Structure 1
Amino acid sequence: MIFNENNNTANCQLPFNSSCLNISSSMTSYVLLYVFAAAIVLFTMCGNLFVIISVCHFHQLHTPTNILILSLAMSDFLVGLFVMPVHVLIWIESCSLFEPIFCSFSNMISFHLTFVSVYNISFIAVDRYFALSNPFLYSKKVSVLLAFIITTHVWIVSLFYNCALLYLNGNFNHVCPGRCLPRMDELWFTADVVIVFILPCVTIIILYMKVFFIARRHAVAIRATLQDRQRVNDQSNVYSSKSERKAAKVLGILVSVFLICLIPYYICMLLFDVLAQSYDRVVNTMVTLFFLNSTINPIIYALFYPWFQKSMKLILTFRICRADSSLMNVLSETRGL
């Protein structure tokens, strides 16, 4: 959550229920809120943990695209571990139960993971565009090591950027009393919106528009090839092209859901003066939607990635504890995804 320094005093003085009592109409609904929230948090952590274990353990899944997915799953897992519980407490209690120093740390983690998630999604879009537009060059130039270096740099740059961002805006010395709200002057606010929202989102949208145009052309070419009944060598090329298009479509769904969850949050950031008195309620709702993206991502993998479904079965039945389990075939008919 970002606020302009010029409005910082007003932010701290906005009507805000500082009492943590009598928030729910009954104790039953109060408890149910916590049970539901705890279930969401646990599901987020477990779902993304399955993705992390799958990609790390099975050698077949060590591909450049899956390294990017692994990085995204790690950021989603950390959102479930560190960010969502704090947000749930503030959302249900309608107040902050934490000391300013804890709020500063929580804001740092939240900003850091948001940056990482946005740029992971951006590089996934770049990866799919490059794979479809230049498949032969992609296979030669893009390696697991390169993907690992890119994701590592994303995490490091994000850490330094957000530490500097919050420190230079006095967030380690000042937090609104009773509220875990960071402060930011107008110049930094504008720069952060451009760096973390506008540039990545424009890049994602443009690249995926190109990806789907390329996939459409490939579909026409594949139909023509099948009509000619060219088998053997052409058959593997057709299968590979189909796999790349399918991967692009599935990751397109992942990207679309991410944008749907992200864009409303930043729109609210830009409409502070318009929302005025209802700002807290609206922003908390949009932040909840954004964090739920970390819960939705494993569901997308489970629905559209057969390798993830098979990996989950192997993990849940403890078959990954067997010798050489990392060499198991989890791709089967989904080769290339």
Structure 2
Amino acid sequence: MNKMTLNQAVNLTSDNITLLPYYIHSAGLTVMYIFSYMLVLLLSVVGNGLVCLVVFRNRKMHSVTNLFIVNLAISDLLVGVICVPTTLTDSLISGWPFSQITCTLSNLIQGMSVSASVFTLTAIAVDRFTKTVYHHHLRPVTALFTIIFIWLLAFAIIFPSAATMTVIRLDNMYLVHDNQMYPLCICFEDWAKAVRRVYTLVIFIPVYLAPLVLISLMYGCIAGKLSNNLRENRVQSRKKIKVIRMLIMVAFLFIVSWLPLWILMLLTDYQDLDRQQTDFLSSYLFPVAHWLAFFNSGINPIIYGFFNENFRRGFQATVGFSSCRSFLTEMRHMLFSLVPPNRVSDKPEDIGQGILLEDIPQVSHRVLEAWIE
């Protein structure tokens, strides 16, 4: 980026030059933004990376629902890696400091990730609905093709917006930092405002409103069906209710997290705001709304660990968060418990394949599961 000293710029330019501060916010607010966005980035990368690792490593978790959850984790991971850093930088600095490619890809990946997330949540609701109401189980191959279709549909919806993203340099407008001046560039959607209004409304319906209604109706039917079956089979119904609670919480938080950003986008497109109002929205409300939307990408793994015991155990086994006491207790069982005489192998990975759990009461369930894995 070309730069010149402030005195050179004043001497070479006319009086109609506009000078803007390089950094938009005060030092305190900047630090708060950086800390908040970096927290989301950490939660998103670590949490969703663990979700993918746990499901891939544990064969017992290779279910259709978990396949969709992995797809949801991948989309959230993309949001954290690509969208969080660029949005944070754009929120702290006047103008757009990146290239044309970054401008296009950031918009494309963010839009595709959001669309893929909501479509995946809808697919999960449809899968649970058909299982509970019609006792129809979706095949893994069908789920895989569904995921491919989800990403193709997400790309088709967001591509028109990404194709119009343009970076331009504004004449006679400069950024000032440390007695240096830098040209001001912006990244924006280069199309007519009327077309943009139509496009925003078009993507709002399939990406937010319609899935919201569909998910609510299906989970309502599922809740009613499970409440009727609770008297017949309490154990199975309670297990299903725990899973449904987790999925409802994921869908609910997605809806709440993205609602403020959708409201702001519709407000800026359908209301004629003056310069002061636009600056206030872009400087303060949009960064907070983006952070809330991105925070949803980092909170999902916490929900899985809180509601689902399999994920919780998988997280503990992967990152080694077992306490010292439990570790010593398990080691004591492993070293001093007698192995039944009808074992099929001396190899730890083969233990449990030909032995019933009742035959080895000395070995805890958690130790046996660790050996099997």
> What range describes the TM-score normalised by the shorter chain of this pair?
0.7 to 0.9
Deviation at 1:247, TM superposition (A): 0.9
Q: Which residue pairs with 2:340 in the alignment?
A: none
Q: Deviations over 1:185-244 (max 9, x none)?
A: 23322222222122222212222222222232233xx2xx4xxxxxxxxxxx54223222
Q: Which residue pairs with 2:219 in the alignment?
A: 208
Higher RCO (CA 8 Å, separation ≥ 6 residues): 1
Q: 1:314 aligns with which of 307, 313, 317?
A: 317
Distance 1:19 1:213 in 2: 57
Distance 1:202 1:251 in 2: 15
Assess if the C-alpha contact under 8 Å between 1:17 and 1:94 holds in 2. no
**Structure 1-normalised TM-score?**
0.76
Q: Which residue pairs with 1:245 in the alignment?
A: 241
Distance 2:252 2:38 in 1: 26
Deviation at 1:113, TM superposition (A): 0.7
Deviation at 1:260, TM superposition (A): 0.6
Query: Which structure 2 residues correspond to residues 15-34 of structure 1 after superposition, within 5 A?
Result: 19-21=21-23, 23-25=25-27, 30-31=30-31, 33-34=33-34
Q: What secondary structure does 2:21 align onto?
A: coil
Deviation at 1:174, TM superposition (A): 6.8
Name the CA shift for 1:18/1:113 in 2 (closer, same or farther; >3 Å). Answer: farther
Assess if the C-alpha contact under 8 Å between 2:257 and 2:292 holds in 1. yes
Distance 1:201 1:175 in 2: 40
1:75 aligns with 2:75: yes
Deviation at 1:72, TM superposition (A): 0.3
Q: 1:285 aligns with which of 288, 291, 296?
A: 288
Name the CA shift for 1:270/1:164 in 2 (closer, same or farther; >3 Å). Answer: closer
AA matched with 2:311: F
Distance 2:265 2:90 in 1: 18
Name the CA shift for 1:324/1:260 in 2 (closer, same or farther; >3 Å). Answer: farther
AA matched with 1:196: V
Distance 1:32 1:89 in 2: 13
AA matched with 1:258: F
Q: What secondary structure does 1:23 align onto?
A: coil
Q: 2:203 aligns with which of 183, 192, 196?
A: 192
Distance 2:46 2:185 in 1: 32
Query: Which structure 2 residues correspond to residues 54-69 of structure 1 after superposition, within 5 A?
Result: 54-69=54-69
Q: Which residue pairs with 1:99 in the alignment?
A: 99
Distance 1:175 1:212 in 2: 55
Distance 1:210 1:84 in 2: 36
Query: Which structure 2 residues correspond to residues 96-245 of structure 1 after superposition, within 5 A?
Result: 96-135=96-135, 138-139=136-137, 142-167=138-163, 170-171=164-165, 178-183=185-190, 185=195, 186-219=197-230, 222=231, 225=232, 238-245=234-241
Query: Which structure 2 residues correspond to residues 286-301 of structure 1 after superposition, within 5 A?
Result: 286-301=289-304
Q: Which residue pairs with 1:39 in the alignment?
A: 39
Deviation at 1:257, TM superposition (A): 0.8
AA matched with 2:262: Y
Assess if the C-alpha contact under 8 Å between 1:48 and 1:73 holds in 2. yes
Aligned residue pairs, count: 291
Q: Which residue pairs with 1:259 in the alignment?
A: 255
Name the CA shift for 1:121/1:98 in 2 (closer, same or farther; >3 Å). Answer: same
Distance 1:90 1:51 in 2: 29
Distance 2:90 2:167 in 1: 21
Deviation at 1:33, TM superposition (A): 4.3
Q: Quick check: 58-67 or 259-268, which moved more? A: 259-268
Q: Quick check: 196-205 or 309-318, which moved more? A: 309-318
Distance 2:127 2:118 in 1: 14
Indicate the RMSD between aligned Cα atoms, in angstroms. Answer: 3.2
Larger radius of gyration: 2
Query: Structure 1 or 2: larger strand share?
Result: 2
Assess if the C-alpha contact under 8 Å between 1:104 and 1:175 holds in 2. no
Distance 1:57 1:51 in 2: 10
Q: Which residue pairs with 2:89 in the alignment?
A: 89
Distance 1:133 1:94 in 2: 53
Query: Structure 1 or 2: larger helix share?
Result: 1
Deviation at 1:171, TM superposition (A): 2.5
Assess if the C-alpha contact under 8 Å between 2:168 and 2:186 holds in 1. no
Q: Which residue pairs with 1:13 in the alignment?
A: none
Name the CA shift for 1:60/1:95 in 2 (closer, same or farther; >3 Å). Answer: same
Name the CA shift for 1:179/1:306 in 2 (closer, same or farther; >3 Å). Answer: farther
Assess if the C-alpha contact under 8 Å between 1:79 and 1:110 holds in 2. yes
AA matched with 1:134: Y
Distance 1:255 1:103 in 2: 29
Name the CA shift for 1:305/1:318 in 2 (closer, same or farther; >3 Å). Answer: closer
Assess if the C-alpha contact under 8 Å between 1:52 and 1:73 holds in 2. yes
Q: What secondary structure does 1:181 align onto?
A: strand
Deviation at 1:312, TM superposition (A): 1.2
